[in-house]
Amino acid sequence: MSKIQMSVPLVEMDGDEMTRILWKMIKDELILPYVDLKTEYYDLGLENRNNTDDKVTVDSANATIKYGVAVKCATITPNAARVKEYNLKEMWKSPNGTIRAILDGTVFRTPITVNNVKPCVSNWKKPITLARHAYGDVYKNAEIKVPGPGVAKLVFTAADGTVTEELIHEFKGPGIIQGMHNTLDSITNFAKSCFNFAIDTKQDLWFATKDTISKKYDHTFKDVFQDLYDKEYKNKFEELGIKYFYTLIDDAVARVVKEEGGFIWACKNYDGDVMSDMVSSAFGSLSMMTSVLVSPKGVYEYEAAHGTIQRHYYRYLEGEEPKSNPVATIFAWTGALKKRGELDGNKELSEFGGRLEKAVIKTIESGVMTADLARSAVGDNIKTVNTKQFFDAIKANM
């Protein structure tokens, strides 16, 4: 059998711990036998980030802008314990944060659904994709604990010296204050990524804020989305028969559980943080989620939504066979291969990505799965296997 050829490389960002082991297994067992894989390889493993003073992370993000599609393995975000464990020169920043700052995007997360793991919400028949704005609001706030009586004001001094003031509250006693911001650039990029993703995946787009209460802050989000939709996206949406739907955040929450799914739900940063955990756990688990960073620069970075599965890795180092669920990492690869195929007009490559995804789903639906999933699966044919056995079953189904 001749292997599928590639014309443009994928940017390959290798990572850490258990997912680094899964990464190699996926390539060796599921991709290299079928595809003449071309990648530009960046080792984002913590050791190499430390050796290169984290330059490798920046280089990998710039390569993504150059080539258009990246696939990323989970990576350690160092804390004090990791600095000691890996003898680090410094506590390097989160690679995802560094990459997002360069690519400036929105993260889309979609549950991978199978017919023997039922969502907790019985109405849900199709996946719901969460699109989370990843900049500003409460995540970049300023706070003060008010000790006693006094006046709190919001003050903005323009570059030309003009001062705008707004009274927040006249405190009669102790209390708390919070200041937060966002930028028109970031909100516009967020909106563009969402509209483009809806077009790419031919799904309706929902967006919700609390604009009735927050008449300037949240209302600006609403206006930016609506203006952009009217000016740049309306025709394309109508052509594809998909809808842009805006509503209040509380109304959205009430409606989401009554719908059958199959749409994208765009959320402000905090709403997205809370709602993506709710949606993913109600659908199954983080090891059954796809995650892609879509940049307004028109480039894509695919990854798994979970971390490096540290506890499994330590057991692996003690000699235990890998037992982790590789599905999210496999889907990072298939997502990237399918997108590469689409951009390059390489139908064989796209079809291979789709075939591998189908084989994974078929394997799980036939009852063969790793232990994490078996815990929540229904049916009397469930067979719990380790990672290697899971790969063998997938290969048989391919």
Residues contributing to the site for Mg ion (CB under 5 A): 273
**Binding site partner of 39, from ligand NAP, Mg ion, none, Cβ cut-off 5-8 A by kind:** none
Count of alpha carbons within 13 angstroms of residue 134, beta-carbon side: 23
Cα 387 from Cα 398, distance rounded (Å): 16
Which tokens in the block code for residue 70?
Answer: 């990246």
Tell me whether residue 303 or residue 357 sits nearer to ligand NAP (CB atom). Answer: 303
Nearer to ligand NAP, 31 or 256 (CB): 31
Q: Which stretch binds ligand NAP (CB under 6 A): 74-82, 98-106, 111-119, 332-340?
A: 74-82
148-167 positions binding ligand NAP, by CB under 6 A: none
Q: Examine residue 186 and tell whether it contacts ligand NAP (CB under 6 A).
A: no
Q: Cβ(134)–Cβ(155) under 8 Å?
A: no
By a kind-dependent CB cut-off of 5 to 8 A, residue 292 interacts, out of Mg ion, ligand NAP, none, with none
CA atoms lying within 13 Å on the CB side of residue 116: 19
The SS3 of residue 369 is strand
Q: What angle do CA 156, 160, 162 make, to 5 degrees?
A: 45
Q: Can you tell me the distance from the alpha carbon of 333 to that of 331, in angstroms, rounded to the nearest whole number? A: 5
| Minimum distance from residue 50 beta carbon to ligand NAP (Å) | 14
Q: How far is the CB of 101 from Mg ion (least distance, A)?
A: 19
Question: Residue 367 corresponds to which amino acid?
Answer: G
Give which of Mg ion, ligand NAP, none residue 309 binds (C-beta under 5 to 8 Å, depending on kind). ligand NAP
Residues from 11 through 50 that contact ligand NAP (CB under 6 A): none
User: In angstroms, rounded to a whole number, what is the distance separating the alpha carbons of residues 95 and 306?
Assistant: 14
Sign of CA dihedral 234, 124, 306, 367: negative
77 is a contact residue toward ligand NAP (CB under 6 A): yes
Spatial distance between the Cα atoms of 268 and 24, rounded to a whole number of angstroms? 36
Shortest distance, position 372 Cβ to ligand NAP, whole Å = 4
Note whether 308 binds ligand NAP by CB under 6 A.
yes
Nearest approach, Cβ of residue 248 and ligand NAP (Å): 31
Binding site for ligand NAP (CB under 6 A): 74-77, 96, 286-287, 303, 306-311, 324-325, 372
